[in-house]
Amino acid sequence: MAAPTWPYGSWPSPLDAALAAAHDGRPEYVGTVGPEVWWTEPRPAEGGRRTLVRRRPAGDGAETAELPPPWNVRSRFTEYGGLPWTGAERAAGGPLIVFIHFADQRLYAYEPDAPGSPGPRPLSPLSTTGRGPRWVDPVLRGAEVWCVLEEFTGPAPTDVRRVLAAVPLDGSAADDRAAVRELTDDRHRFTTGPRLSPDGRHAAWLVWDHPRMPWDGTDLMLAEVTGDGLLTGARSVFGGPEESVAQVEWASDGSLLAVSDRGGWWNPYRVDPATGWAVNLCLREEEFGGALWKPGLRWMAPLAEGTVAVLHGQGASVLGILDPESGDLVDAAGPWTDWQPALAASGTRVYGVAASPRSAYEVVELDTATGHARVVGAQGADPVDPAFYPEPQSRTFLGPDDRQIHAHVYPPHHPGCRAAADELPPYVVWAHGGPTDHVPPVLDLHIAYFTTRGIGVVEVNYGGSTGYGRAYRERLREQWGVVDVEDCAAVARALADEGTADPARLAVRGGSAGGWTAAASLAATDLYACAAIIYPVLDLVGFAEETHDLESRYIDGLAGPPQTLAVVSRERSPAANADRITAPFVLLQGLDDAVCPPAQAERLTAAMRGRPVPHAYLAFEGEGHGFRRADTMVRALEAELSLYAQVFGIERNDVPRLRLRLERER
């Protein structure tokens, strides 16, 4: 029997917004504690907190959430966070876990198996100034935990210092800041946590300074660890202002490994600590690293027998085992098409977080002795029949000057519906955040929310995205608001020209930097019928003045130096060019957003006053940069769908109607 015919966009879907929100987020920060595997996991229905999950090797290997509400294992370091926990197996009493609690940003020690354990106990002090101190990327060393300390020195987001520090495990620093030992000075603006050599005699870490971002240039620092726990003779041995070192680790034999893009691609190197001489271990035009947005990301994990687990690829990463002596690289078998930079290793086993177009991100174990890979954690039941999942088509389009643009096309898909043969589907162009980031072709229920209703989605890895080498990233240098807008438009036009998408029903959407691209697209072109703009950058000058310290000089590379920023901002900022916006839009904003503060959204809505452009502004209390609460995500998805339905002329009665207002009607 032929499937019934429904207009595109009106298909009935088994995937509602509540179901998509309930499965939002992915496991992160996988680590091993003895034979056990631990990781953090989201809980959207519990206010968006992240819990710490433990998988024991004995019995059936069941996983348990070790920390009940309100414990929230997440750091606010530079507002984006980073590795928020570490652990070690104790000779008696089970594991010792140290983690950062989001609410107060203190370090806590927790011994879950200790008899009569009272629960987590604080190790670090509360702040008397600003929004800290904050901690990230911890490692246990003797009677201390070594990590990065971020400490505010004044009221401005840029009044901040960062150093490596040691916090005693006995709790003596919980009420005494003086008990925290600083291991380095604050001559460098940014730093990752220390990596200790197998013999404990050396420490390595990464640093960089304004105006560079970590994908522009970083230095690998090396120091000796003295018998009384001091760092001495710190010096740069690798990297530099034009070379991005994304990760440093010690191999089991004491050699130093690093991931660098000195050859145009992030490749793995062995570094001589004495001379800085480096040997490329696997010369390929592939990425073995990525943008270091958060300390503690791991694209490689050395194994005890001398091989190295690595993530590599173009546009998406697969897991492989690299022999550093021969350069041989053998990929793990399995259905997973993308791995997140969260590798951990124990013995012959490698753990990571992987997904595919048919499965969301889950914790996977690879036994390198047998080559067998299996899911060991965070495996969720399919919320709907997998027959409803969209099938991505990874394609390369041509943009201005015949430059290549990588994208993933998700056509409308429903096993029980089809549209009339003479109807073309509406399409939404998704611009990812970052903008120094990328999106892989994996299952995303937020995409499926639209494709199951008959609305196509295309995710564009526009110029500036990671995953395709340094030259591809550099396309966006001083061209933000130009190259990204042009690339998204080129993909949208190509889909329309080839008869894949309805040229009259194209939309653009994005969050964070993608929100900038969506809004800038409305101001720069009449290609799109509407837009969803989510916690965006809307004013370049305002962003440089108001955002957090990490990105306060990001604009230098994206739009140009401070002396020309005012001119560029007037030319490209959506808030400064609101008179060019004629298409309807919905603007979604978290009121606690310290990265793209609400002032950005408020400037655009103020600029729209008196203009006959239907739009809606929804602000969410308790949400920061990136929505985490289930109720927020439901409201946001339904508002976005209602916008498309109204603009594209689609009949839907399964979502509340979004009120699009005309400012002249006030």
- pLDDT tens digit string along 359-391? 999 999 999 999 999 999 998 789 999 999 999
Q: What is the pLDDT of residues 294-329, one digit of tens each?
A: 999 999 999 999 999 999 999 999 999 999 999 999
Q: How many CA atoms lie within 13 A of 389 on its CB side?
A: 18
Q: Are 533 and 510 in contact (CB under 8 A)?
A: yes
- pLDDT of residue 352 exceeding 80: yes
Residue 318 token pair? 């697969």
Q: How far, in Å, CA of 303 to CA of 272, rounded?
A: 19
Q: What is the DSSP letter of 384?
A: S
Confidence of residue 91 (pLDDT cuts 50, 70, 90): confident
Q: What is the pLDDT of residue 11?
A: 97
Strands 202-208 and 218-225: antiparallel
Q: Distance of CA 654 to CAs 17, 169, 634, 642, Å?
A: 10, 54, 12, 9
Q: What is the 3-state secondary structure (H, E, C) of 284-298?
A: CCCECCCCCCCCCCE
If you average pLDDT over residues 122-126, what whole number do you get? Answer: 95
- pLDDT of residue 208 exceeding 60: yes
Q: How many residues does the chain have?
A: 666
Q: What is the pLDDT of residues 518-534, one digit of tens each?
A: 999 999 999 999 999 99
Q: What is the pLDDT of residues 145-190, one digit of tens each?
A: 999 999 999 888 999 999 999 999 999 999 999 999 999 999 999 9
If you average pLDDT over residues 574-594, what whole number do you get? Answer: 96
- pLDDT of residue 592 exceeding 80: yes
Domains and CATH numbers, the chain: 301-380 (2.40.10), 386-665 (3.40.50.1820)
- pLDDT of residue 31 exceeding 80: yes
**CB neighbourhood size of 115 (10 A):** 7
pTM: 0.95
Q: What is the pLDDT of residue 663?
A: 42
Q: How far, in Å, CA of 229 to CA of 213, rounded?
A: 30
